[in-house]
Structure 1
């Protein structure tokens, strides 16, 4: 199902801090399905949990399939505090998945890898433009507004 493009030039409707969190996995041995499949299947319950409870701080997310061995999940968060609170929540989906992954790594001899990167982007340090695009990326997470209201050029939007 394709999303309908929004005509014209739009930008993300955000002016506060944003946290960009990238997380992914790499299949180091395709034959070791019992090592990597549970890691891959651990993410959907976490995403469902976050989508059900927006108060946890996730603004939006997008799965980015890899071309060969690596897949990535791009997430936008309200704050690093909310991201860290979710990661540490003893009653949520993340902690048991993390514990299971660590057990699997010890017994799997490197057949699957995971990675993550966290970027705290201060207010005024990001800008976006979407031309004839459906809501996408940060614009989908924060909502979109016409470019004119935030500046016609990237330099103007970054200075706002």
Structure 2
């Protein structure tokens, strides 16, 4: 039976999702989620025009000293980027990046990573929204729907085991419009029962009732969701030099009956295990191999040139 090497150690406290952490992580004292939302409200030309107007006002008030701040800020940004490029300063963008080719495989009840690939039933829930109003984030109802959704996600994470919620990852869908990007959140559940319990929770029902009551006033807001039930053996994920995202950002709770020295977990200790495992060799090396339902022997790549990942990355958990 194939055994896989986990690349991320279990944690005692369930990690919060990127959706929630974006509201607590700050840049210049402002939550990064809010920074991203504000940046998305105007086109590049509008931001340049706004900056030009502010610069004119500063010049009228302070004279030539008004030219100092933009040049100083630009100089700081260039030097900062140069220091990170040379490796003389840590790059915050690569925090938590796993420099390896890794795939998804969930541990069994003993905390062992082995057996058939794609070894768990998964329910994937996509939910998204977009605002078409010319006033952007100040449109009627936009704050209300955002507050409801944030509240539901935070509540679901607190009650993750009750719902069978494994993880949440949020994205902005860019490319269709220069402003007011569509947002999409992907939630992973262990089964449909957990998803339906989440959907019919009182907090979710309150949001439904609010939407239905104000439907005629919210024609400028689009909402949608999709559900995919993925039986074991019929899903896969592969990542290279990536942060934990999507399935890689999920965890499963385990309370082991016996000590597991490989994971550093003692009997009776409750931990949350990541499904991140080395994918440079074995069944996880190819897409067909990661889909155990195909019955592949994972030798599809042997007809190609040397594998660049064979000696790439690390083979230990952090």
TM range, smaller chain: 0.7 to 0.9
Q: Secondary structure at the match of 1:71?
A: strand
CA distance in 2, matches of 1:82, 1:13: 21
Cα 1:117–1:7 change in 2 (3 A) is: same
| 1:31-80 C-alpha deviation (Å, 9 max, x unpaired) | 37122221122111111101111112211111212333421111111111
1:19 to 123, 136, 141: 123
Given the two structures, how large is their TM-score scaled by the length of structure 1?
Answer: 0.87
Structure 1 residue 97 and structure 2 residue 207: aligned?
A: yes
In structure 1, the partner of 2:168 is: 61
Segments of 4+ moved more than 4 angstroms: none
Counterpart-to-counterpart distance in 2, 1:86 and 1:149 = 37
Q: Secondary structure at the match of 1:65?
A: strand
Q: In the alignment, which residue of structure 1 is the partner of 2:44?
A: none
**How many aligned positions are there?**
157
State the superposition RMSD in angstroms: 1.9
Task: Go from structure 1 to structure 2 and tell me whether the alpha carbon gap of 1:54 and 1:150 turns closer, same or farther (over 3 Å shift).
Answer: farther
Query: Is 1:146 matched up with 2:275?
Result: no
CA contact (8 A) 2:140 2:218 kept: no
Does residue 83 in structure 1 map to residue 195 in structure 2?
Answer: yes
Q: Provide the C-alpha distance between the structure 1 equivalents of 2:195 and 2:247, rounded to a whole number of angstroms.
A: 17
Q: What does residue 30 of structure 1 align with?
A: 134
Please tell me whether Structure 1 or Structure 2 has the larger radius of gyration of its CA atoms.
2
SS of the aligned residue for 2:240 comes to strand
| Residues 1:8 and 2:8 aligned together | no
Q: Distance in 2 between matches of 1:149 and 1:95?
A: 46
Give the gaps of 5 or more residues in structure 2: 1-91, 107-118, 175-179, 252-273, 294-318
TM value normalised by structure 2: 0.46
Give the alignment partner of residue 117 of structure 1, picking from 213, 226, 235. 226
| Structure 1 CA distance for aligned equivalents of residues 186 and 134 of structure 2 | 23
More moved, 119-128 vs 22-31? 22-31
Residues 82, 132 of structure 1: CA spacing in aligned structure 2 closer, same or farther, 3 A cutoff?
same
Q: Which residue in the other structure is 1:130 paired with?
A: 239
**Higher relative contact order (CA closer than 8 Å, sequence separation 6+):** 1
What is the distance in 2 between the residues matched to 1:80 and 1:113? 25
Instruction: Mark the CA change 1:109 to 1:43 in structure 2 (over 3 Å): closer, same or farther.
Output: closer
